[in-house]
Amino acid sequence: MHLCSIAFSSLLIVQGLSLVAAQRSWEEAYSLARPLIDQMSLEQKVNMTTGMGWTITPCVGNSHPITNPDFPSMCYQDSPLGVRMAHNVTAWPAGITAAATFDRRILNLRGVGMAQEFREKGVHVQLGPAINFMRTPQGGRGFESFGEDPFLTGACASETVIGIQSQGVIATAKHFILNDQELNRNTASSNVDDRTLHEIYLWPFARAVESGCAGVMCAYNLVNGSHACEDKHTLSLLKNELGFQGFVTSDWWATHSTVESANHGMDVDMPGNDMNQDDPYSSSFWGRNLTKAVKNGSVDETRVTDMALRVAAAYFKMKQDTGIIPETKLNSFDLTKVDDSVNVKTPQHTRLARAIAAAGTVLLANDGILPLTRHDTSLSIIGSDAFMSPLLNDPEKCSDFGCDPATLIQGWGSGTVTFADPIIAPYQGLKERAGSHVKFETARDNWDLDAVAKTAAASDIAIVFANADSGEEYLTVDGNKGDRNNLTLWNNGDAIITTTANNNKNTIVVIHSVGAVTMPWIDHPNIKAVVWANLPGEQSGHALADVMFGDINPSGRLPYTIAKKAEDYGAVIGTGSNIDYTEKLLLGYRWFDEHKIDPLFPFGHGLSYTTFLYNDLEVHTHRASEVVSVSVHVTNVGHFDGHEVVQLYLDFPDNAGEPPKVLRGFDKIYIRAGMNRKVHFDLTKTELSIWDTDSQQWVIPSGTFRVMIGASSRDIRAVRSFRM
């Protein structure tokens, strides 16, 4: 049996465990919440919506427990890629890797697997998924989210939320909204027009809300001049226009007022204190200050009642009142003080993490050297990124993964798993898979180019590894305070790649990266393949070996554009107090299309070991129901079984003012060699509409549309027109 089959059977095993208890409807949840909240005093409702403080609770955030009537202290815990600040948990592939799978089923199961571990650790609220955008490739936390496209990000958000909440854990979509860089994130205002806000940045939150998301986290930044956690306009859009019925929690210390944040729509203040105060509760903008604001008439008590209702409704919706969340088994701030031996990391999770990492691996280029075969008798493994270092599990020397001494499995910051053990490095995975007949030469020091050259020349094939890192602004790594200073590879990466290629005619480049990098070596005649391994999590080496040895046919696709040079991108990190989104709708590949800029590798790009042929595109318009049905046949004309990602782009009528093409559908399908499948898409009003700023509603523009079916944003295989 090929490992491809083994990997996907493991997904079925996890899927079989996926449902803890069917969620209640929001109507049922509120019917249970109201009688409870009606019994509470003002002080109890305030306690329920104010965090207990930083470093004094078992979780990164806890609400106050309520007695008579009883309501538990709810545990809020990072991160969007696994349980932070805990042992015996899985370091899952990052959000950007999950997006690269272009696979809704895998995205859902990743949410399931993560939430099983959160639940067993006694966590009520997972602080994820992150669904901000890779507006600029340098953005520090872009790796936590799902790339540059709103449709893809929305689909990823939806499936992740459904997966998380199937386990009875509350998902928290974050960071609401326009939180797309780390520089000046607490003081700068992200300024955007109404149409761009709706069509790009609000889109994935709308999909999360549609999927029943019970939590949303408001962001650090300002929005059009107002702090996000007290911005009346956007919080009203969330609750009124999108119909969000859950609660809005602040990001940690993103609250800047008592009255404005309460009156304008925030529901929970976390962590509930000022970091520099000795008395956490009294120094909070909420807590006693919110109680005073109600008593002096600045905040109506009905607003506080609504806050508490929303929290309780989310709790009841997830059926957390039935005991599905066990006692919390965390001590986030001192792991020596709690018996953290409960191991929530299962063999199923390990297999699933490996399958996700493999499915998210993108084969950017291949001149026939891959897959590796049993006839390859010697391999040179070059670069620190191929190897493990004990520093990666040292919380003092590599706090929140804020270092880059070895293989890169995730970025840094609060959106990480603190203790990733064991990490399967690429060298280990490749060596295990290759077998004893393959001779390995290694060079770990990226700065010893003489050793790199000697090692490269010593084998039939040289595999050279490099990476690029980023993260959250409270940590500075190699001079990068969150956002990347540039798009070059780290740790002398370009030099070791060039040196390797100069000394071995069969060079394979493997990149682990948070996002796009420049590739000055890409045209070197000795570079025969480029493997984009993203941020694969703890099973990095095993997943990479699965793909490179052909046990799994690569099927990952780029969730962002890789440009030829940094200046080609349409947005940059804003350095002042105002970050103006002047590119408007032209985010990512849309900018490249509009300005006719050739990317190095386009959005949606990824190669396979086989070849797929597209034909028989059909488009049928059902005007009465405002649905357009699209179908296309895809045939595997190569020699390997494999997955293809069929992408549907839409070109709107000329008068609509849209970019040249926008993603409006994708489907990942498995086709055996020599076989074909028919792929169907339904374009509904959601996919066909634009935001009309005059009427303040979604409308389908009249005129001629074009459906473009392709294998990437720049590899369109078939086009058909229709009118609406």
The region of weakest confidence among 192-196, 206-210, 332-336 is: 332-336
Domain CATH for 399: 3.40.50.1700
Q: Does 279 have pLDDT greater than 80?
A: no
Confidence of residue 419 (pLDDT cuts 50, 70, 90): confident
255 and 392: one domain?
no
Of the three residues 277, 309, 337, the one that is the final residue of a domain is: 337
> What average pLDDT does the segment 286-302 reach?
96
* Domain-located, residue 449: yes
239 and 368: one domain?
no
- How does DSSP assign 620-651, residue by residue? EEETTTTEEEEEEEEEE-SSS-EEEEEEEEEE
- Residue 570 DSSP label: S
> What average pLDDT does the segment 432-457 reach?
96
Cβ neighbour number for residue 522 with a 10 Å cutoff: 16
Of the three residues 291, 308, 337, the one that is the final residue of a domain is: 337
331 and 367: one domain?
no
Of the three residues 293, 311, 337, the one that is the final residue of a domain is: 337
| Residue with the larger pLDDT of the pair 343 and 504 | 504
| Torsion angles phi and psi, residue 176, rounded to 5 | -85, 105
210 and 296: one domain?
yes
| Torsion angles phi and psi, residue 240, rounded to 5 | -95, -55
Query: Which tokens in the block code for residue 234?
Result: 């956007």
Q: How far apart are CA 97 and CA 321, in angstroms?
A: 34
200 and 323: one domain?
yes
31 and 153: one domain?
yes
C-beta contacts of 275-281 below 8 A and 24+ residues apart: 275/54, 280/52, 280/53, 280/54, 280/56, 281/50, 281/52, 281/53
Q: How many domains are there within the chain? A: 3
* Domain-located, residue 601: no
* Domain-located, residue 314: yes
* Domain-located, residue 347: no
Active site residue 694: no
* Domain-located, residue 348: no
Q: How far apart are CA 59 and CA 328, in angstroms?
A: 8
Catalytic residue selected from 149, 251, 267, 593: 251
Q: Does 18 have pLDDT greater than 70?
A: no
* Domain-located, residue 593: no
Q: Does 275 have pLDDT greater than 50?
A: no
Domain CATH for 245: 3.20.20.300
* Domain-located, residue 508: yes
Q: Coil, strand or helix: which one is 217?
A: strand
520 and 556: one domain?
yes
Whole-model pTM: value is 0.96
| Residue with the larger pLDDT of the pair 342 and 175 | 175
> What average pLDDT does the segment 608-632 reach?
95
Query: Is the separation of the CB atoms in 477 and 471 below 8 Å?
Result: yes
Domain CATH for 629: 2.60.40.10
pLDDT recorded at residue 283: 60
Q: How far apart are CA 469 and CA 403, in angstroms?
A: 9
pLDDT recorded at residue 7: 44
pLDDT recorded at residue 337: 66
519 and 491: one domain?
yes
92 and 241: one domain?
yes
Show the beta-strand stretches assigned E in 444-539. 461-468, 476-477, 480-481, 507-513, 527-532
pLDDT recorded at residue 285: 92
Work out the widest C-alpha separation in the chain, in whole angstroms. Answer: 80
Q: Identify the H or E element spanning 495.
A: helix 493-503
291 and 417: one domain?
no
Percent of residues, the chain, with pLDDT higher than 90: 90
Q: Which residues contact 706 (CB under 8 A, 6 or more apart)?
A: 650, 651, 719, 720, 721
Q: Does 259 have pLDDT greater than 70?
A: yes
* Domain-located, residue 119: yes
Q: How far apart are CA 724 and CA 719, in angstroms?
A: 17
Query: Is the separation of the CB atoms in 661 and 708 below 8 Å?
Result: yes
> What average pLDDT does the segment 574-587 reach?
97
Distance (Å) of CA 438 to CA 88, 176, 297, 372, 434: 33, 51, 77, 11, 6
- Residue 381 DSSP label: E
Query: Is the separation of the CB atoms in 515 and 560 below 8 Å?
Result: yes
Q: How far apart are CA 507 and CA 453, in angstroms?
A: 12
424 and 313: one domain?
no
Structural domain containing residue 296:
26-337
Query: Is the separation of the CB atoms in 713 and 647 below 8 Å?
Result: yes
Query: Which tokens in the block code for residue 169?
Result: 């854990």
46 and 169: one domain?
yes
Tell me the residue type at 430. L
